[in-house]
Chain A
Amino acid sequence: MSEEQSVTNNKSIDGVQYKELMNAGLTWLQTNQESVNALNVFPVPDGDTGTNMVLTLQAAYNEISNSSEKSVGALAEKLAHGALMGARGNSGVILSQIWRGFSKGLEKCETISGKCLVEGLKQARDTAYKGVVRPVEGTILTVCKDMAIAAENSLNDTEDPYQILRIITDAAQVSVEYTPELLDVLKEAGVVDAGGKGLMHIFEGMVRFIDGEPLDIEPVHVQPLSVIGQQEALNSAEPGQDYEVIVDFQPDQPLVLENYYEDLEKIGTSIQVGEGDGIYRMHIHVPTEKRYEPIDYTMTLGTITKVHIENLMIQVDSPTGAQPEEPLKLAKVGPDDLGVVTISPGSGFSRIFASLGAAAIVEGGQTMNPSTQEILAAFEDLPTDKIIILPNNKNIMMAAKSAAEVSVKQVEVIPSVTVPQGLAAMLRLIPGQEITDVAKDMNSAINDIESGEITTAVRDVEIDGIDVKEGEIISLHNGKLVGSNKSLEDGCLIFLEKAKAEDLELITMFHGENISREAAEKMTEFIQEKYPDQEVELQYGGQPHYQFIFSIE
Chain B
Amino acid sequence: MSTAIVTDSTSDIPSDLREELSIFQIPVDLTLEDKTYLDGFDLSRNDFYTRLPTLKKLPTTAAPSSGRFQRLYEQIFDEGYTNIISIHAASALSGIYNAARLASLEFEQIIKVIDSEQLSLGLGFQAIQAAKMVQQKLPLNEILNAIQSVKTKVHVFALLDTFEYIHRSGRVSWAKARLGSLLNIKPIVELKNGQVYNRGLARARSKGIQFLGETIRKLGTLEYLSVMHTNALETGKRFIEEFSPLEIPEPLLVNVTTIIGTHVGPNGIGFAAVVK
A92 lies within 8 A of B183 (CB): no
Which of A40, A41, A44, A93 contacts B65, CB < 8 Å? A93
Per the bound structure, the CA–CA distance linking A96 and B201 in Å amounts to 41
Take A46-B61, A88-B63 as given contacts and tell me if A427 and B172 are in contact as well, using a CB distance cutoff of 8 Å. Answer: no
B183 lies within 8 A of A539 (CB): yes
B171 lies within 8 A of A133 (CB): no
Take A43-B172, A355-B180, A356-B183 as given contacts and tell me if A430 and B65 are in contact as well, using a CB distance cutoff of 8 Å. Answer: no
Which of B60, B173, B184, B206 contacts A505, CB < 8 Å? B206
Q: A186 to chain B: closest CB distance in Å?
A: 13
A431 lies within 8 A of B183 (CB): no
B65-104 CB mask vs A (1 if < 8 Å, else 0) is: 1111010000000000000000000011111011101100
Residues of A within 8 A of B29 (CB): 88
Stretch at the interface among A7-15, A79-87, A291-299, A471-479: A79-87
Q: B52 to chain A: closest CB distance in Å?
A: 16
The verdict on A90 contacting chain B, using a C-beta distance below 8 Å, is yes
Residues of A within 8 A of B183 (CB): 352, 355-356, 423, 508, 537, 539
A90 lies within 8 A of B67 (CB): no
Take A51-B60, A133-B91 as given contacts and tell me if A508 and B203 are in contact as well, using a CB distance cutoff of 8 Å. Answer: yes
Q: A85 to chain B: closest CB distance in Å?
A: 3
A87 lies within 8 A of B204 (CB): no
Residues of A within 8 A of B205 (CB): 505
Per the bound structure, the CA–CA distance linking A423 and B184 in Å amounts to 12
Per the bound structure, the CA–CA distance linking A407 and B67 in Å amounts to 63
B203 lies within 8 A of A506 (CB): yes
A31-65 CB mask vs B (1 if < 8 Å, else 0) is: 00000000011111111100110000000000000
Q: B31 to chain A: closest CB distance in Å?
A: 7
The verdict on A132 contacting chain B, using a C-beta distance below 8 Å, is yes
Residues of A within 8 A of B180 (CB): 329, 354-355
Which of A51, A90, A331 contacts B95, CB < 8 Å? A90
- Residue pairs across A and B with CB atoms within 8 Å: the count is 117
Q: B204 to chain A: closest CB distance in Å?
A: 4
Residues of B within 8 A of A448 (CB): 207
A213-230 CB mask vs B (1 if < 8 Å, else 0) is: 000000000000000000
B101 lies within 8 A of A133 (CB): yes
A47 lies within 8 A of B65 (CB): no
The verdict on B198 contacting chain A, using a C-beta distance below 8 Å, is yes
The verdict on B202 contacting chain A, using a C-beta distance below 8 Å, is yes
The verdict on B199 contacting chain A, using a C-beta distance below 8 Å, is yes
The verdict on B17 contacting chain A, using a C-beta distance below 8 Å, is no
The verdict on A131 contacting chain B, using a C-beta distance below 8 Å, is yes
Q: A553 to chain B: closest CB distance in Å?
A: 5
Take A51-B31, A96-B66, A537-B184 as given contacts and tell me if A90 and B98 are in contact as well, using a CB distance cutoff of 8 Å. Answer: yes
Q: A124 to chain B: closest CB distance in Å?
A: 15
Take A84-B67, A86-B65 as given contacts and tell me if A46 and B94 are in contact as well, using a CB distance cutoff of 8 Å. Answer: yes
Per the bound structure, the CA–CA distance linking A89 and B94 in Å amounts to 8
The verdict on B177 contacting chain A, using a C-beta distance below 8 Å, is yes
**Pairs A-B, 9 closest by C-beta atoms:** A47-B60, A85-B67, A88-B62, A87-B65, A427-B201, A90-B95, A505-B204, A84-B67, A355-B181
Beyond the given pairs A42-B170, A87-B99, A356-B185, 10 more chain A to chain B contacts, judged by CB atoms under 8 angstroms and listed by A's residue number, are A41-B170, A46-B95, A47-B62, A51-B31, A51-B60, A85-B65, A132-B98, A329-B180, A355-B183, A424-B203
A-B contact pairs, 9 of them (CB 8 A): A43-B170, A46-B61, A47-B62, A84-B67, A88-B29, A88-B65, A90-B95, A352-B182, A427-B200
Measured CB to CB, the residues of B under 8 A from A are 29, 31, 60-63, 65-68, 70, 91-95, 97-99, 101-102, 170-174, 177-178, 180-185, 197-207
